[in-house]
């Protein structure tokens, strides 16, 4: 691009200075600087990724292999010889597999109902399915505790001698937490299947069920596999739901936390981290080689394909099911604000705003303000770094570009607990002494959530025709000016979408940051966990309500400021 565009520009501005023999090699000093600049930026990004993605992971690996005298596999031997730890590994896999199967099955039905049929209320289902994407991942657990905990509405009404804590609680919460991700992926897959293929099948005499099985689902199979693998990773690495509603049922993600924070046993925590990474990395690589790393559809406008009329025998069950799921999600999220204004859930049902005084803790509502600061910083810094990375990867193609791309996407397979542990191990010693500062939190959010942001940037750049830039250049704009005046304005919508994505994650994330908070700097999401554990579900609901309000408010505000549909909700 630079080679080709060099000639016209220099010949237009200073024709006499160009020797006729080598017109295309001549570069203006500005362009030379631009080239050097992009090379320097590429190196800087590579260094950032090495420092904030590779180095923490290597520290975890090294810690799991470190013995009193050099390298040892003793920690792994200890892990696999402990009946308890092996059982926890099996329990983690069991929860993840069961949650994945149910989530993908329900999501498939929902996606089918919304994209391929003409049932009423599709917009409501689409809208509801977005809600879990922008809320703290464990609010679903909190809602289920309000419903089916030992003091839950249903538990009390039916005088149940049973409560949801444990395996059931984790699975049910994970299904509703990760349903949106699976739903949006599958809606996109189904939405892209050409209706005429189904019509052709029916014209050839196939019944609706045969068409569904042999045509639609066959075509959706790769997308289905991909959705299953991604949901599996999300369930396997989930921390918030198991710690809230797991009761006595432990999984690896929570056990790592117990080992490191509870017992200061870094070696055991690191070993479990590596054990936890393996299945996630396998799922990630299978997905990458099968469907390609870019299969995550990053912009989540619910796909809409030509809907076809359905036989009533199929239409109404589909309507009841998808409407029911949408309604249930609405109920789950209505429970959080409701729980925050009930004086004593399960005891005294009178209304009160007492919980908003945050009297149960000396830190009051400060953690929320800290979360906002973290989210704003992560949003601003993350957006700049992710967009620059996307530009370098997609447009300038420097040497080492493949490495930058691969490292940017790697965190998809990294559990938050592993990021948290890795950051403590990597950054509590010089030269990068970040523990006890807000920057360790900011970098953890930015680089853990990096993949989706970079992919969104790359996708947006792909949609900008290079011809537009070439046109600007041939009109004499110069590369720097073209970037600033042509490319950047076209990226504004994407930039705000990425900002919102980082901002939301800064507000709601818990698994990585729970390792990294420091004296006097607690976060809203972690405070919710503490309040539930301490037996103040009402206060937890109040904190959750404020966080939800801030997140939804900021999305709406940005959309109003920058203009409607240019700000999308990104997801993994």
Partner 1 sequence: MRRSLRLVLALALFAPATPWPVGAAEDKLVIYTAYEENELKTFWEQFTKDLPDLAAKAAYIRGSTGPTMARVEAEKANPQADVIWGVFNDYLTGAAAKGLLDAYAAKESQAIPARFKHPENLWQGVTLLTVAFAVNQKKMAELRLPPPHSWADLLDPKYKGHIVMSNPSTSGTAYLLLASHAARLGEDKMWQYYETLDRNLSQVTKSGGAPGRMAASGETPIGIALAYEVEVAKKQGAPIDVIYPTDGIAWTFESNALVRGAKNPANARRFLDWAVSKSAMTAYAAWRGAGITRPDVPMGGQKILDMGLINLDFVKAGDPAYKDRLVKRWLEKFSR
Per rule CB under 8 A, is residue 66 in the interface with partner 1?
Answer: no
Per rule CB under 8 A, is residue 344 in the interface with partner 1?
Answer: yes
Per rule CB under 8 A, is residue 533 in the interface with partner 1?
Answer: yes
Per rule CB under 8 A, is residue 435 in the interface with partner 1?
Answer: yes
The one segment of 72-80, 180-188, 262-270, 450-458 that binds partner 1 by CB under 8 A: 262-270
Residue with tokens 């080709």: 4
List the one residue out of 78, 440, 421, 425 whose CA is nearest residue 259.
Answer: 421
The one segment of 131-139, 205-213, 305-313, 361-369 that binds partner 1 by CB under 8 A: 361-369
Per rule CB under 8 A, is residue 377 in the interface with partner 1?
Answer: yes
**What's the closest the beta carbon of residue 535 comes to partner 1, in angstroms?**
3
* Binding track over 279-308 against partner 1, x by CB under 8 A: ------------------------------
**What's the closest the beta carbon of residue 467 comes to partner 1, in angstroms?**
23
Kindly tell me which of 244 and 461 has the beta carbon lying closer to partner 1: 244
- Kindly tell me which residue out of 263, 278, 357, 471 binds partner 1, with binding defined by CB under 8 A: 263
Total of residues contacting partner 1 (CB under 8 A) = 62
Per the document, the length of the chain is: 572
Cβ atoms of 425 and 270 closer than 8 Å: yes
Handedness of CA 353, 356, 357, 360 (dihedral sign): positive
**What's the closest the beta carbon of residue 436 comes to partner 1, in angstroms?**
6
The one segment of 64-72, 388-396, 407-415, 432-440 that binds partner 1 by CB under 8 A: 432-440
Kindly tell me which of 21 and 81 has the beta carbon lying closer to partner 1: 81
Kindly tell me which of 152 and 416 has the beta carbon lying closer to partner 1: 152
The number of beta carbons lying within 10 Å of the beta carbon of residue 219 is: 17
Per rule CB under 8 A, is residue 492 in the interface with partner 1?
Answer: yes
Per rule CB under 8 A, is residue 44 in the interface with partner 1?
Answer: no
Per rule CB under 8 A, is residue 346 in the interface with partner 1?
Answer: yes
Q: Phi, psi at residue 199, to the nearest 5°?
A: -65, -40
CB-based burial label for 35 (10 Å; 0-12, 13-18, 19+):
middle
Per rule CB under 8 A, is residue 367 in the interface with partner 1?
Answer: no
Cβ atoms of 26 and 7 closer than 8 Å: yes
- Kindly tell me which residue out of 33, 44, 62, 87 binds partner 1, with binding defined by CB under 8 A: 87
Per rule CB under 8 A, is residue 437 in the interface with partner 1?
Answer: yes
**What's the closest the beta carbon of residue 186 comes to partner 1, in angstroms?**
34
Per rule CB under 8 A, is residue 72 in the interface with partner 1?
Answer: no
The one segment of 272-280, 302-310, 376-384, 454-462 that binds partner 1 by CB under 8 A: 376-384
Kindly tell me which of 209 and 263 has the beta carbon lying closer to partner 1: 263
Per rule CB under 8 A, is residue 372 in the interface with partner 1?
Answer: yes
* Binding track over 196-215 against partner 1, x by CB under 8 A: --------------------
DSSP characters for 106-134? HHHHHHHHHHHB--S-HHHHHHHHHGGGG
Residue 308 bridge partners (DSSP): 117
- Helix (H) / strand (E) containing 466: helix 466-474
Q: How far apart are CA 566 and CA 498, in angstroms?
A: 11
Q: Phi, psi at residue 66, to the nearest 5°?
A: -85, 130
Cβ atoms of 511 and 244 closer than 8 Å: no
Cβ atoms of 477 and 534 closer than 8 Å: no
- Calculate ∠ Cα 104-110-113, nearest 5°: 140
Q: Is 523 helix (H, G, I), strand (E, B) or coil?
A: coil
Per rule CB under 8 A, is residue 553 in the interface with partner 1?
Answer: no
**What's the closest the beta carbon of residue 149 comes to partner 1, in angstroms?**
7
Q: How far apart are CA 233 and CA 363, in angstroms?
A: 34
Q: How far apart are CA 81 and CA 550, in angstroms?
A: 47
The one segment of 37-45, 101-109, 263-271, 444-452 that binds partner 1 by CB under 8 A: 263-271
Kindly tell me which of 112 and 536 has the beta carbon lying closer to partner 1: 536
**What's the closest the beta carbon of residue 364 comes to partner 1, in angstroms?**
9
To the nearest 10°, report the CA torsion of 522, 528, 529, 530: 60
Cβ atoms of 410 and 398 closer than 8 Å: no
List the one residue out of 335, 344, 318 whose CA is nearest residue 176.
Answer: 335
Kindly tell me which of 144 and 183 has the beta carbon lying closer to partner 1: 144
- Kindly tell me which residue out of 1, 4, 62, 359 binds partner 1, with binding defined by CB under 8 A: 359
DSSP characters for 373-439? HHHHHHHHHHHHHHHHHHHIIIII--TTHHHHHHHHHGGGGS-HHHHHHHHHHHHSSTTS--TTSHH
The one segment of 52-60, 323-331, 515-523, 541-549 that binds partner 1 by CB under 8 A: 515-523
Instruction: Using CB under 8 A, list all residues that contact partner 1.
Output: 82-84, 87-88, 91, 149-151, 159, 161, 163, 165, 247-250, 258, 261-264, 266, 344-347, 359-363, 372-373, 376-377, 379-380, 424, 428-429, 433-439, 489, 492, 496, 518-520, 522, 530, 533-536, 561-562
């Amino acid at each position: 691009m630079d080679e080709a565009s060099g000639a016209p520009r220099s010949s237009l501005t200073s024709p006499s200075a160009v020797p006729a023999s080598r017109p295309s090699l001549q570069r203006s000093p500005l362009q030379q600087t631009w080239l050097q600049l992009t090379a320097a930026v590429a190196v800087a990004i590579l260094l950032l990724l090495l420092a904030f993605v590779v180095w923490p992971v290597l520290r975890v690996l090294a810690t799991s292999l470190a013995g009193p005298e050099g390298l040892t596999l003793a920690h792994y031997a200890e892990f696999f010889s402990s009946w308890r730890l092996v059982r926890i590994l099996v329990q983690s896999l069991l929860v993840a597999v069961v949650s994945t199967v149910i989530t993908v099955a329900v999501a498939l039905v929902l996606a089918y109902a919304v994209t391929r049929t003409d049932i009423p209320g599709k917009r409501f289902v689409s809208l509801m399915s977005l809600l879990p994407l922008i809320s703290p991942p464990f609010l679903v657990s909190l809602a289920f505790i309000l419903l089916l905990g030992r003091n839950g509405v249903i538990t009390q009404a039916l005088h149940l001698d049973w409560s949801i804590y444990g395996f059931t609680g984790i699975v049910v919460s994970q299904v509703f937490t990760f349903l949106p991700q699976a739903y949006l992926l599958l809606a996109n897959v189904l939405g892209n299947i050409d209706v005429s293929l189904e019509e052709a099948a029916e014209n050839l005499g196939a019944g609706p069920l045969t068409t569904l099985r042999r045509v639609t689902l066959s075509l959706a199979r790769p997308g289905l596999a991909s959705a299953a693998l991604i949901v599996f990773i999300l369930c396997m690495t989930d921390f918030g739901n198991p710690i809230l509603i797991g009761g006595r049922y432990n999984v690896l993600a929570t056990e790592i936390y117990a080992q490191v924070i509870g017992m200061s046993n870094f070696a055991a925590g690191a070993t479990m981290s590596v054990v936890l990474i393996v299945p996630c990395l396998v799922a990630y690589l299978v997905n990458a080689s099968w469907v390609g790393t870019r299969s995550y559809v990053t912009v989540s406008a619910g796909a809409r394909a030509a809907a076809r009329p359905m036989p009533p025998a199929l239409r109404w069950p589909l309507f009841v099911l998808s409407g029911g799921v949408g309604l249930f999600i609405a109920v789950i999220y209505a429970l959080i604000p409701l729980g925050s204004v009930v004086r004593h859930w399960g005891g005294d049902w009178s209304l009160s705003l007492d919980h908003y005084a945050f009297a149960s803790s000396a830190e009051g509502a400060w953690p929320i303000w800290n979360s906002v600061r973290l989210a704003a910083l992560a949003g601003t810094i993350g957006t700049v770094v992710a967009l620059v990375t996307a530009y370098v990867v997609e447009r300038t193609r420097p040497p080492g570009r493949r490495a930058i791309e691969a490292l940017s996407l790697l965190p998809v397979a990294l559990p938050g607990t592993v990021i948290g542990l890795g950051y403590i191990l990597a950054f509590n010693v010089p030269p990068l002494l970040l523990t006890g500062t807000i920057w360790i939190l900011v970098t953890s959010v930015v680089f853990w959530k990096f993949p989706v942001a970079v992919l969104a940037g790359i996708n947006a750049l792909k949609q900008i025709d290079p011809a537009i830039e070439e046109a600007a250049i041939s009109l004499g704009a110069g590369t720097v000016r073209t970037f600033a005046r042509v490319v950047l304005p076209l990226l504004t919508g994407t930039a705000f979408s990425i900002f919102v994505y980082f901002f939301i994650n800064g507000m709601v994330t818990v698994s990585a940051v729970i390792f990294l908070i420091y004296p006097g700097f607690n976060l809203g999401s972690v405070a919710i966990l503490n309040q539930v554990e301490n037996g103040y579900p009402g206060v937890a609901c109040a904190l959750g309500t404020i966080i939800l309000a801030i997140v939804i408010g900021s999305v709406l505000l940005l959309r109003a400021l920058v203009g409607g549909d240019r700000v999308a909700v990104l997801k993994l």
